[in-house]
Amino acid sequence: NAALGNAWLPPGGEYGQTYFQTPSVNEDTSTVVPMRETSLVTGVVRDARGEPLAGAQVGLGTHGYRVEGVTGEDGSYSLRVLPGEYNFSLSWQPADSSHPGLPEGGFGLAAYSVAVEADQERNVTLPPTSQLTIEALGRGGAPIEGAGVSIPETKIGTYDLGGYEAY
């Protein structure tokens, strides 16, 4: 009775996870598994001014399979994935210093149904950012020192980020 087998290599290589039918085994038997080739997705992440964004988390994932990377000093990223439909994610949290024109607390963007069928370049240019300032005021309009403020996750709209339509 044949069963489904699974062959894989460490992520990031030229070949990815491959399922195969195992043969019936009544004596010494060999089988060959032609491994599935991956596609290389590369690009550069830039801010709204065109400056490269270093240290951003970039990912492609679907149904429990996820590949992630971090942009280099020049904003470049490189991800190897099996051909298919993916969700793209991009996030950035300031490590030691802020990046002019980006929110002090960082940001996250997501795009859905990104088709990857072959090697491709996807450069990302972030939309301009805006700042929301909230001030808690007491009697007579005086600011209340130490007041906490919380707002729900803010959806800013839809943007074309170099072929990724992000929300």
Instruction: Please list the pLDDT of the chain residue by residue as tens digits (167 residues).
Output: 568 888 888 777 888 888 888 888 889 988 899 998 999 999 999 998 999 999 999 999 988 888 999 999 999 999 999 899 999 999 998 876 677 777 777 888 888 888 999 999 999 988 887 777 888 999 999 999 888 888 776 665 666 666 666 55
> How far is 158 from 6, CA to CA, in rounded Å?
39
pLDDT at 160: 63
* Residue 134: alpha-carbon gap to chain centroid: 30
Asked if 66 and 86 touch (Cβ cutoff 8 Å), the reply is no
> How far is 120 from 126, CA to CA, in rounded Å?
19
> How far is 58 from 33, CA to CA, in rounded Å?
31
> Which 8-state DSSP code applies to residue 118?
S
> How far is 129 from 102, CA to CA, in rounded Å?
6
SS3 133: coil
pLDDT at 165: 60
At position 113, the amino acid (one-letter code) is S
pLDDT at 19: 86
- Asked whether the whole model's pTM tops 0.85, one would answer no
For the record, the structure tokens of 32 come out as 């060959």
